[in-house]
Amino acid sequence: METAEISNVRFGGGSAASVSGLRKGFSTGSTSAAAVKASIRYYFEGEKFDLIEIKMPGGENASLKVASLSKFNFNLEQKETEPFISKSVLIKDSGDDFADVTGGIEICADFTVIDKKDKNALKNLKKYYEKFLVYNIIKCPLAEDSTIIFASSKGIGTVKRKGLPVKAGYPAINPVPYKMIESAAEEELKLKILNGKIFFSILYVPEGEKIAERTLNPRLGIEGGISILGTSGYVVPISTKAWLETIKACLSFLEANKIDTCVFTPGRFSEKAALKIFNNLRRESFIEIGDYVSYSLRKVCRTGIKNIIFVGQFGKIVKIAQGARNTNAKYAALDLGFLAETAKEAVKKRSEKDAERIYGLIIGSNTSREAFGYITSDDFSIYSDDIFSKLLKKAAEKLYNIAKNAGNAAEMGFRAETETGVNAVNANTNAVSNAAAEGGNSADIEIVLIDYGGNEIKRERL
């Protein structure tokens, strides 16, 4: 067989973005970090600029456009005196991802410096903002007796319930953006030696509360605004067709080059974890499939690839165990009842009492992450291996059944899955079963569960 020609395809994270030809944008996290950095620079330099450069999570630099810069005094009775505030405004650019509800919103950052001894300035500052929630305090890089206080204000949500990456009571700024913001501030302040000062950075989104009504935040227990998100720093728009064509092209490449193992991952985080776990495999073996579980399995089973590995976090694997063929929330809601029953089944052999307890805790959870926390807690850690084992077996069986039924019905399933969702795919079960005898290449399937830090927890093979 001739070597497959796959131009403009990068295996692993972001592979489909090149094929789609769509323009990338910047996450709320990147935009926030850039806004914070811009407000600090303008405070000290006073000259306006159009671009601000920040370091992205992948290590590269990116330049973001600055919409406006201004200075004002928060104490209206002292208009001509310090302390003053510098303000930067950036417009979130979501690229060609037109479905991003936060695209085009203003993300603002204010910055000021006050003397530690000036109690009135601190009091007036807090009074000036409608909402003022401190989320971290760190030492100034070159002045040990000076500190940087990071706060959020209007339009950034506050976490009210457990089960999210951010503790209840804190602003909804996820870990990666949180580090980006702090690093950007420290980088801009690294040459500023001002002893005995307090540096204030206040982040806010004027339309955030209104925009949040169109997100999942209210259901997740995040109140008062949007979340500041982003693991890569980018918004990568992609059409369904482009993504599926990329998966198909990647598999064709593996088949043409007689590479008999592929590693499917739902996203970049799980891919990074998979690369560490299976560091003996060629990079080309790793394919980011997004939510397209069924499509990817059907396609791989029509090649000569003999070993299929799926690496994912808890929530994705729960959905697969439920029987989801497409794990997008639009098609498959995570069923905490199913998870609770699975955990109960695993525990009751050893303790009926604890089985009922874990069932109740999971049923009452807000998210899969919260449920995962209960399963791995000190109270239930003696059962966690049993619970994960049962869950993985159910998930592996579902993957095996999809692969077993792969054949001429794959294209029919593809159309149903991409056009009308998972219900249409399930409606074609009989047709798939009838066609199973004609197609499908037998392969070993291994499913690997990773934790929220990217570490392997357990694996199951069929």
pLDDT per residue over 99-143, tens digit each? 789 999 999 999 999 988 887 888 888 888 989 999 999 998 877
**DSSP E strand boundaries for 323-377:** none
User: CB count, 10 Å around CB of 312?
Assistant: 26
Element (H, E) at 26: strand 25-26
pLDDT attached to residue 252: 87
Query: Pick the residue with more confidence: 253 or 87?
Result: 87
The amino acid present at 218, given as its one-letter code, is: P
Q: Is residue 290's pLDDT more than 60?
A: yes
Per the CB < 8 A criterion, the answer to whether 412 and 439 are in contact is: no
Highest mean pLDDT among 84-93, 243-252, 297-306: 84-93
**DSSP E strand boundaries for 153-196:** 155-156, 158-159
Per the CB < 8 A criterion, the answer to whether 404 and 440 are in contact is: yes
The amino acid present at 227, given as its one-letter code, is: S
pLDDT attached to residue 80: 53
> What pTM value is reported for the model?
0.69
Q: Which residue do the tokens 């503790």 mark?
A: 167
φ/ψ of residue 72, rounded to 5: -155, 170
The tokens for 230 are: 């982003």
DSSP designation for 411: H
φ/ψ of residue 390, rounded to 5: -65, -40
Residue range 23-235, CATH number: 3.30.2110.10
Query: Pick the residue with more confidence: 363 or 236?
Result: 363
Burial 151-163 (b: 16+ CB within 10 A, else e): bbbbbbbbbeeeb
* Among the ranges given (144-153, 211-220, 447-456), the one the predictor scored with the smallest mean pLDDT: 211-220
Q: Is residue 407's pLDDT more than 60?
A: no
Instruction: Give the residues across from 68 on adjacent strands.
Output: 89
Q: Is residue 409's pLDDT more than 70?
A: no
Per the CB < 8 A criterion, the answer to whether 270 and 452 are in contact is: no
Q: Is residue 49's pLDDT more than 70?
A: yes
**DSSP E strand boundaries for 197-300:** 197-204, 222-223, 225-226, 234-235, 261-265, 286-288
Per the CB < 8 A criterion, the answer to whether 83 and 120 are in contact is: no
**DSSP E strand boundaries for 4-142:** 25-26, 51-55, 61-65, 68-72, 85-91, 106-115, 133-140
- What is the band of 429 on the pLDDT scale with cuts at 50, 70, 90? very low
Region 212-240: what's the mean pLDDT?
86
- What is the band of 6 on the pLDDT scale with cuts at 50, 70, 90? very low
The tokens for 218 are: 């209210």
**DSSP E strand boundaries for 84-178:** 85-91, 106-115, 133-140, 143-152, 155-156, 158-159
The amino acid present at 14, given as its one-letter code, is: G
Q: Is residue 411's pLDDT more than 60?
A: no
pLDDT per residue over 314-348, tens digit each? 999 999 999 999 998 888 999 999 999 999 999 99
Instruction: Give the residues across from 382 on adjacent strands.
Output: none
Residues belonging to the chain: 462
Region 437-447: what's the mean pLDDT?
66
Q: Is residue 377's pLDDT more than 90?
A: yes
Per the CB < 8 A criterion, the answer to whether 284 and 254 are in contact is: yes
**DSSP E strand boundaries for 293-410:** 307-313
pLDDT attached to residue 276: 96
The tokens for 252 are: 């064709």
Alpha-carbon span 418 to 275, nearest angstrom:
28
Instruction: Return all residues near 120 (Cβ < 8 A) that are at least 6 apart.
Output: none
From residue 350, give the alpha-carbon distance in Å to each of 74, 353, 377. 63, 9, 17
Q: Is residue 435's pLDDT more than 90?
A: no
Region 4-24: what's the mean pLDDT?
43
Provide the residue ranges of all domains of the chain, joining segments of one domain with +: 23-235, 240-461
Q: What does R_g of the chain's alpha carbons equal in angstroms?
A: 25
The amino acid present at 185, given as its one-letter code, is: A
Alpha-carbon span 1 to 423, nearest angstrom:
37
DSSP per residue, 240-254:
HHHHHHHHHHHHHHH
